[in-house]
Amino acid sequence: MATALSLAFHPLLVPSYLFYVVCYQLPVVAQPALPDRWIVLAVVFGFTFLLPALGTGALFWFGRLDSLLLRERAQRPLPLLLATFSFAGAAFLLHQLPFSPLLSRIMLGMAMAVLLTLLISLRWKISAHGVGVGGSFGLFVLLHLTNAAGPAGFWWLLAAAILALAVLGARLALDAHTPAQAWAGLGLGISVVMSLVAGVAFL
């Protein structure tokens, strides 16, 4: 169960889940017109999953990584650097498209969280899973506080909280992180996404 949770909610997959919920499940002002929502999902999935995953696979293929699991802190900088550029590329592209600025701000918050994860990982093994689910929880907190998500916002917030605790528990059960590393990741994700998204969400 812990392994399944870790794989299903890998940090590279969380952005796609989150943007699907924002675009299709919540009545937020950030929603593009229905025929255009697939464009947002395609950009997010391509830049936050496909490109970083292919880049990490290439690093492994050429012997720059010992494992695709990246359990050792020393294995993380190059994949995280690739992810930072990919996430930033997604934020830039969403900013250029004629959609709500909230979408690009969400993506920018994720890019900043990945960058900070990279910088911290140079010295300490913070939980990237924690950062991912923390950012999702932080966004749902903002959407709920501004009532941008409507009545469904509370239930998505509750689901995000339960999921965050489950994923952190899974990482601890797998002995992938210490409690401090797991909670630090959660706190980083929440704080970065909330601080960058709040300026748009409260308009």
| pLDDT at site 114 | 95
Would you call 131 exposed, middle or buried from its count of C-beta atoms within 10 A (0-12, 13-18, 19+)? buried
Average pLDDT over residues 167-190: 94
Residue 78 scores a pLDDT above 80: yes
Rounded distance between C-alpha atoms, residue 183 and residue 164, angstroms: 10
Q: How much is the pTM?
A: 0.90
The separation between CA 28 and the C-alpha centre of its own chain, rounded to angstroms, equals 19
Provide the pLDDT for residue 202: 45
Per-residue pLDDT band for 17 (boundaries 50, 70, 90) equals very high
Averaged pLDDT, 87-91? 96
Closest CA to 113 of 124, 127, 92: 127
Does residue 201 surpass a pLDDT of 60? no
- The torsion angles phi and psi of 173, rounded to 5 degrees, stand at -65, -35
Q: Identify the pLDDT of residue 203.
A: 44
Q: So what's the pLDDT on residue 145? A: 82
| Mean pLDDT computed over every residue of the chain | 89
| First and final C-alpha spacing in the chain | 41
Nearest to 76 by CA among 118, 28, 44: 118
Q: How confident is the model at residue 130 (pLDDT cuts 50, 70, 90)?
A: very high
Instruction: State mean pLDDT over 100-123.
Output: 92
Both tokens assigned to 184: 């630090």
Which of the four pLDDT bands, split at 50, 70 and 90, describes residue 26?
Answer: confident
- Sign of the CA dihedral running 198, 12, 163, 116: negative
Q: What is the mean pLDDT of residues 164-169?
A: 95
